[in-house]
Amino acid sequence: MGKELTTREADYSQWYNDLVIKGELADYSAVRGCMVIKPYGYALWENMRDQLDKMFKETGHVNAYFPLFVPKSLFEAEEKNAEGFAKECAIVTHYRLKNDPANPGKLMVDPDAKLEEELVIRPTSEAIIWNTYKGWIQSYRDLPILVNQWANVVRWEMRTRLFLRTAEFLWQEGHTAHATKEEAIDETKKMLDVYAEFVEHYMAVPVVKGVKTPNERFAGAEDTYCIEALMQDGKALQAGTSHFLGQNFAKAFDVQYLTKENKQEYVWATSWGVSTRLIGALIMAHSDDQGLILPPRIAPLQVVIVPIYKGEESKPVIDEKVNGIIKELKSLGISVKYDNSDNARPGWKFAEYELKGVPVRIALGLRDLENNVVELARRDTKEKNTVSIDGLAQYVSNLLEEIQQNIFNRALAFRNENIREANTWDEFVSLLDTKAGFISAHWDGTPETEEKIKEMTKATIRCIPLNNKQENGSCILTGKPSKERVLFARAY
RNA sequence: CGGGAUGUAGCGUAGCCCGGUUAUCGCGCCUGGUUUGGGACCAGGAGGUCGCAAGUUCGAAUCUUGCCAUCCCGACCA
CATH number of A303-403: 3.40.50.800
Does ipTM come in above 0.90?
A: no
Q: Does the domain formed by A419-489 have CATH 1.10.510.10?
A: no
Which pLDDT tens digit goes with each residue over A429-462? 989 888 889 999 999 999 999 988 988 888 999 9
The spacing between the Cα labelled CA in A484 and the C1' in B70, in angstroms, equals 44
Task: Verify if strand B has an atom below 7 Å from the CB of A30.
Answer: no
Predicted pLDDT of residue A3: 64
Task: Verify if strand B has an atom below 7 Å from the CB of A224.
Answer: no
The spacing between the Cα labelled CA in A316 and the C1' in B21, in angstroms, equals 55
Task: Tell me how crowded residue A230 is: count the other CB atoms within 10 A of its CB.
Answer: 31
Instruction: Return chain A residues 421..480 having CB < 7 Å to nucleic acid strand B.
Output: 455, 458
Distances A206 to A26, A67, A228, A275, A367 between C-alpha atoms, Å: 24, 34, 8, 17, 42
Phi-psi region of A241 (alpha: psi -120 to 50; beta: other; left: phi over 0): beta
The spacing between the Cα labelled CA in A190 and the C1' in B74, in angstroms, equals 38
Residue bearing the bigger pLDDT, A156 or A134: A134
Element (H, E) at A376: strand A373-378
Within chain A, all domains assigned CATH 3.30.110.30 are found at 419-489
Which pLDDT tens digit goes with each residue over A215-234? 899 999 999 999 999 999 99
The nucleotide minimizing the C1' distance to residue A361's CA is: B38
Q: What is the band of A276 on the pLDDT scale with cuts at 50, 70, 90?
A: very high
Average pLDDT, rounded, for chain A: 93
End-to-end Cα, chain A, rounded Å: 33
Task: Verify if strand B has an atom below 7 Å from the CB of A491.
Answer: yes
Element (H, E) at A317: helix A314-331
The DSSP call for residue A260 is T
Residue A1 has pLDDT above 50, yes or no: no
Q: What is the band of A417 on the pLDDT scale with cuts at 50, 70, 90?
A: very high
Burial class (CB in 10 A: 0-12, 13-18, 19+), A116: exposed
The nucleotide minimizing the C1' distance to residue A165's CA is: B78
- Provide the percentage of residues in chain A whose pLDDT is more than 70: 99
Pairing state between β A236-246 and A384-388: unpaired
Task: Verify if strand B has an atom below 7 Å from the CB of A190.
Answer: no
The spacing between the Cα labelled CA in A491 and the C1' in B10, in angstroms, equals 35
The nucleotide minimizing the C1' distance to residue A315's CA is: B36
Instruction: Return chain A residues 352..391 having CB < 7 Å to nucleic acid strand B.
Output: 352, 354-355, 363-368, 374-375, 377, 382, 384
Closest CA to A486 of A431, A448, A418, A438: A438
What are the b/e assignments for A246-257, b being 16+ CB within 10 Å?
bbbbbebbebbb
Instruction: Return chain A residues 267..286 having CB < 7 Å to nucleic acid strand B.
Output: 275-277
Residue A473, beta-bridge partner list = A482
Total residues belonging to chain A: 492
Predicted pLDDT of residue A335: 98
The spacing between the Cα labelled CA in A232 and the C1' in B71, in angstroms, equals 21
- Chain B bases under 7 Å from protein CB? 1, 26-30, 35-40, 68-78
Closest CA to A433 of A449, A422, A447: A422
Mean pLDDT score, A354-375: 96
Task: Verify if strand B has an atom below 7 Å from the CB of A161.
Answer: yes
The spacing between the Cα labelled CA in A224 and the C1' in B51, in angstroms, equals 44
The nucleotide minimizing the C1' distance to residue A158's CA is: B76
Task: Verify if strand B has an atom below 7 Å from the CB of A106.
Answer: no
Mean pLDDT score, A373-380: 97
Within chain A, all domains assigned CATH 3.40.50.800 are found at 303-403
Residue A199 has pLDDT above 80, yes or no: yes
Closest CA to A213 of A199, A231, A194, A226: A226
The spacing between the Cα labelled CA in A429 and the C1' in B3, in angstroms, equals 25
The spacing between the Cα labelled CA in A477 and the C1' in B25, in angstroms, equals 58
Q: Does the domain formed by A12-67+124-286 have CATH 3.40.50.850?
A: no
